[in-house]
Structure formats: structure tokens, C-alpha cells
A and B are shown apart, each in its own frame.
Chain A
Amino acid sequence: MLSVALRHAFAGFTLDIAFTAPPGITALFGRSGAGKTSIVNAVAGLLRPDAGRIAAGEWVLLDTDAGIRLAPHRRRVGYVFQEGRLFPHLSVRQNLRYGAWFAPRGAVREDFGRVVEMLGLGPLLDRGPGALSGGEKQRVAIGRALLAAPRLILADEPLAALDEGRKAEILPYFERLRDEVAVPILYVSHAASEVARLATTVVALDAGRVVAQGPAAAVLGDPAITPAGARAAGAVLAARIVAHHDDGLTELEAGGWPLFLPRFAGQPGAAVRIRIAAHDVIVARTRPEGLSALNILPGTVAEVRPGEGPGAIVALDTPAGRLLARVTRRSAAALGLVPGVAAHAVMKSVAIAPADVGAGPRGPHVPRPGP
């Protein structure tokens, strides 16, 4: 468990935050300028905050009241930078081994071969970083951070510099990291879809303040919390693959209800998480008939949040989980959508792209023995 409390005055902007990060991926989620990168830099020791306390379990990295400020090289964080920052004068293998060399003798280390296999780095080992693609560089950067025997992994928008294809290539590796490595991961992102796919816990930030923190489904399902803007609002459902059908659809089960999505890879029985964008959900007071949409879930309105423009975000509690729907304020009024009324959520199957589907956590984390 990582706990972070920081206060730092920048020119024209103050950071004043506190949050805790349990094992798994904790996403620092917010638009640019919210202070996300400053937080990870303070955790890594690259920024000296005015005041604060950062501790990973019993191990204190920073405590300004007690006069503790560990130097960056003593903090044992694995930092995956946005731009990779591989050492150009070293081969991929030497880059990967760099951190292990400085790790304390008793540190619990990841196995080199296992990390190389997990990140698919085998064919790259003897190349120089200059000869790698953007996606390959980030994979090496992840491996390098992991092999430094860190107690904590920091990732600062590790996908922001990559195009969509490369992002899709890297995301599964972070899912594996989340599910297979017991070290807590702080993951900075402004992209709602990334956060929805990866995060176990979400810390939503705005203008240097924490506006919400908690389990991903709860924070992303809160219509008041839209750090990336109302257009990017969307809830996360946990589901299980039931079957792949011949007509190109994959059937899922969420809370006992079937969902049909365009086909994506995955074994029947596997846990997945799906992000359903608020603008892809239609709300109906009665169960609609003669509709082409395949997914209709009954539910109850939990909250209606009018936006600044003509829109409103409606939170619906359904048996499959919390859903968000973006409707106009006029429709919300015309339908009488107020908390407590029954309503149906309607989703077009084709609206959900395969990129919105990620692997679900594979059961409880096995904590590694601490040094």
C-alpha cells in the first residue's frame, strides 16, 4: 500500500493532494495540467515538494516533518517515462540489466528471462535503442523499470507518444503487469479508455486537487467525476466471456445478464472489463420493442448530473453494474429521470470497439515476500 500526501506551490498553481494506492494499477486520471506528472516526479524524488509524506508500507520515501527526503537513487521506484529514456549508448540487454546492478543484494528480483518473455523482448536484446520502434522502446522501458527490483512502479503517460496501433500493442503488457506483478503501479493518464482498461483504483485529479478516489468502477461510474470532460465519460463493467457466435458477435455475461459485442479475442470463461462510453447509451423508461439494439439492461436511475451545456449524465444501476448515459437535459426532463425511477439502458453492440475491452484481473494478487 502506497500513501502519498503532497503540497507544492508552482507559479500560478498549487498541488495539494493525498491518496492511497493499493496493489494493482492506481491511475492518476485528469486532464493535462492537473498535476499528475508532478505527483509521480515527487514520488520518484525528481521534484522536491514543499511539504508532504510518501510511504510505501512501512518504508518512508519522504516525510518533510521528520526531515526525511530520500535521494532518487535510494527510492527504488521503477519509472517508465513517457519518452522511454533508454540509454542510447547501451544495448537493449544492457539497458534491461542497468537497474538490477544497483539493486540491493537482498532485493526480491524479477527473473530476467521471465520479463524478457512477458514483454516479448527476446529478438531485441542485442540491438541498440536507436533501431527500435516507439512501441518496442516502451516495452524495453517497462522491462528496465521492472528488472530494477522496484518496490513501486511509476508510469507517466507511457502510451501518449504512441499511435493507436502501438497503444493497442502495449496495453496488454500493462494488464499482465497489473495481474502478475505484486508491486503497486502508479499510472498517469488523461485517456479515459486507458484508465478504464487498466485501473484497479482511480484517483481523479483536477487543478492540483483530488476530486475522487476509489475502485475504478465506482469512480468512473460517478457522473460527477469527468476529469477528461463529459464527452469522455464512461462506465466500466466486469464481465465474463460466454461464447463466440458465428455471426461475428461475442456473448458476454455481466451480473447474470447477456451482452453482445463485436467479436474479440479471448477464451470462453475469461474475465474481461468493458468500457461503455456514456454517449453510446440510450435511456428508455419502458422496455423498447422492435429495436435493432441487442443490449437492453433494466435498471434504476441513481443520479442525474446536468452538464454546463445542453447535456446531462445519467447514472443507472443495472444488474450488470453501474452505467453512465449521456442524454440531453430536455430528454431527462421529458422522461422524468430522477433518482429512484426505473429505466432501461440501451446499447448498440457495434458501438463498443475491441479496444474498449481489456483483460479482467485474474484473481487475487499474490504478494511477493518483502525484503
Chain B
Amino acid sequence: MTDWLGPEEWKAVALSLRVALWATLASLPLGVLTAHALARWTFPGKHVLNGLVHLPLILPPVVTGYLLLLTFGIRGPVGALLADWGIVLAFRWTGAALAAGIMAFPLMVRAIRLSIEAIDPKLEQAGATLGASPLWVFATVTLPMALPGIVAGAILAFAKAMGEFGATITFVSNIPGQTRTIPSAIHAFLQVPGGEGSAMKLVIVSVAVAMAALLGSEVIARRVAARVGGA
């Protein structure tokens, strides 16, 4: 694989995998919590939260990227605070992960929310009458029963994070080895004469990763669903 891919291309693939993995893993707990809140809780401002979660899906990615730069840039309100603790996101791979995570968040939350809404609340009530506190009901009934949706949401988010371009390039630019993910690399290769070959290899890698993610999520979701369904 490393022979077939040049060092530049390999760097882009490795970086993309790292960015997408961190984006998915870091946002998963928050995604499950948000999905549970939207599916089951009643609180003021629920519609606002729902809108905020879906915003990255509707906004132009460049706008999201620019807003991230304004917020998390070194002079941004959050970025300056984080910089005091030595955490810099702008123009770093961690920033790329943040951008990818935010762009993938709506897809993740949507998949998990649907699977939580599909659980009969009467089962959660049954858990409560058997002595399980709301947190334990969530851990022992809601979470395991929503597992197929959580797996599907995570894989969907991973694939989306692998392909994120607009917000990433606006927020963290296109620095080889630091923020040049597969889409950015393809874009860069296409700007220079003779770069089509490298671009095509990365296109093939993208297609392969996306297909593998989709097939993998199908298989896992089906297995989990069979177990959860008690069949």
C-alpha cells in the first residue's frame, strides 16, 4: 500500500483516517446525549437545540469553517482561552478533527435519535418499576437497544468526516502533513500539472473507504439488531 501510494499521498490518507477517527470518537458521547435529549427529554429551548445541531447540514461549509475560525482561532473567544492552556486548534490536525466532527454531527445525531425514538418508552418504564434510576435505565435499556443506530450513526459520521472539505480548508487551511486530508490533497493535486495520477489514487482510496464503511455498518447493524431483537 505504501509502495503504491507516494509519501505525500500516504500522509494525506493517514491524516484523514486519524482526523475522522478522532472526530467520530470525540463526538460520539455528545451525539448520544444530544440524541437522547432530543428524543426523550422535554425542556425549554429544545427546538433551538435541534436547529443548532442541524445547522452545519444547511449552512455552506465555508460559513461553518469561517465561524469556527472566528470562535476557535487564536484571537477568537474560545480559541484564546484554549491557547492559554496550550491548546491550539487553528491550522492544526486537531482543528481539522473539530471541523469534521461538527460537520458530521447532524448525521450522527439523526441516526441515533431515530433508533432511540423507535424504543418503546414502556420498556424504560418497566426498568424504572424494577428499581433502575433514570441513568441506569439509560445504560441498561435505552443504550443497548439503540446500539444498531449508534453504530450506524458513528460509521456515517466517520465517512462524512473522511470527506469533509469546505469547513476544514477554511478553518485549518491545507498544510501538508498537518491539515492536508484526502479531499484537500485531491484539490491540491488537481491545481498542479501532472497531479492527476496522485489525485486518482486518492479518489480510489476515498471510494474504497466509503464503501467499506457502508458495508461494515450494514453488517454490524444487522448483527446487533439480531441480538437486540432477541431472535
Contact = CB atoms under 8 A, between A and B. Distances in A.
Is B truly associated with A? yes
Interface of A: 44-46, 71-79, 81, 83, 85, 87-90, 98-99, 101-103, 128-131, 144-145, 148
A89 B144 contact: yes
Contact of B133 (A73, A89, A90): A73
A85 B123 contact: yes
Contacts of B228: 88-89
B229 A87 contact: no
Contacts of A101: 131
B191 interface: no
Contacts of A74: 131
Given A83-B122, A129-B230, A98 B128 contact: no
A76 B122 contact: no
Given A73-B132, A76-B131, A98-B140, A87 B126 contact: yes
Contacts of A77: 129
Given A87-B141, A89-B144, A131-B230, A79 B126 contact: yes
A80 B73 CA distance: 57
Given A78-B129, A102-B132, A103-B131, A88 B122 contact: no
Given A46-B129, A98-B130, A81 B122 contact: yes
Nearest to B137: A73
A129 B137 CA distance: 19
Interface in B102-158: 120, 122-123, 125-134, 136-137, 140-141, 144-145
11 contacts: A71-B133, A73-B128, A73-B129, A73-B130, A76-B131, A81-B126, A88-B228, A90-B230, A99-B130, A103-B131, A148-B131
B227 interface: yes
A77 B144 CA distance: 24
A148 B230 contact: no
Nearest to B125: A46
Contacts of A46: 125, 128-129
A99 B137 CA distance: 11
A115 to B, nearest CB: 14
A87 B145 CA distance: 9
Contacts of B120: 85
Contacts of A88: 123, 145, 228-230
A145 B129 CA distance: 9
B231 interface: yes
The 10 closest A-B pairs by CB, nearest first: A102-B131, A128-B230, A130-B230, A99-B130, A79-B129, A72-B128, A85-B126, A88-B230, A89-B228, A73-B128
Given A72-B125, A81-B122, A130-B230, A102 B130 contact: yes
Nearest to B140: A98
A229 B141 CA distance: 41
B122 A85 contact: yes
A144 B140 CA distance: 15
B130 A148 contact: yes
A103 B133 CA distance: 11
Contacts of A85: 120, 122-123, 125-126
Nearest to A132: B230
A143 to B, nearest CB: 12
A111 B229 CA distance: 29
**Which of B126, B130, B141 has the most CB atoms of chain A within a 10 A radius of its CB?**
B130
A77 to B, nearest CB: 6
A83 B140 CA distance: 20
Contacts of A129: 230
Given A89-B230, A99-B130, 11 more contacts: A46-B129, A73-B130, A73-B137, A79-B130, A88-B228, A88-B229, A89-B141, A98-B127, A102-B132, A131-B230, A145-B130
B124 to A, nearest CB: 10
Contacts of B136: 73, 102
Contacts of A81: 122, 126
B123 A87 contact: yes
A128 B231 CA distance: 7
Nearest to A104: B131
Nearest to A77: B129
Nearest to A107: B131
B229 A73 contact: no
A68 to B, nearest CB: 18
A330 B57 CA distance: 79
Contacts of A71: 128, 133
B143 to A, nearest CB: 10
Nearest to B147: A89
A99 B122 contact: no
A145 B122 CA distance: 15
Contacts of B227: 89
Nearest to A94: B140
A87 B125 CA distance: 11
